[in-house]
Amino acid sequence: MAQRKTLYLCLISDSVGETAFKLTQAAMAQFPEIKPIYERYPFVNTKEKVDSLIQVAVEKNAIITHTVVTQGLSEYIQIEAANHELTAIDLLTPVVRSVSKRFSLAPTHEAGAVHHLNEMYFDRISAMEFAVLYDDGKDPRGFLEADVILLGISRTSKTPISLFLANRNIKVANLPIVPQAHIPDEIYQVDPHKIIGLTNDPKVLNNIRRERMIAYGLNPDTSYSNMNEIKNELAFAETLYKKLGCYVINVSNRSIEETATMILERLGLDHY
**Would you say 40 is a known binding-site residue?**
no
Dihedral (Cα; 50, 54, 56, 57), 10-degree rounding: 130
Annotated binding residue 225 = no
Q: Are 1 and 42 in contact (CB under 8 A)?
A: no
Sheet holding 172-176, edge to edge: 172-176, 148-152, 195-199, 247-250
Backbone angles phi, psi at 7, to 5 degrees: -130, 125
Among 270, 267, 201, 203, residue whose Cα is nearest residue 237: 201
List, in sequence order, the alpha helices (H) in 115-174. Answer: 115-133, 158-166
Does residue 52 have a known ligand-binding role? no
* 8 Å CB contact between 166 and 131: yes
Is 100 assigned to a binding site?
no
Task: Assign 3-state DSSP to the chain and report helix, strand, coil percentages, each to 5.
Answer: 50, 15, 35
Alpha helices in 134-267 (DSSP H): 158-166, 202-215, 227-244, 256-267
The gap between the terminal CA atoms of the chain, to the nearest Å, is 50
Rounded to whole angstroms, how far apart are CA atoms 269 and 168? 10
Contact status, residue 40 vs residue 15, Cβ threshold 8 Å: no
Question: Distance (Å, rounded) from C-alpha 99 to C-alpha 85?
Answer: 30
Q: Is 154 annotated as a binding residue?
A: yes
72 is in an annotated binding site: no
**155 marked among binding-site residues:** yes
Residue 157 annotated as binding?
yes
Q: What residues form the annotated binding site? A: 152-159
Binding residues for ADP: 152-159
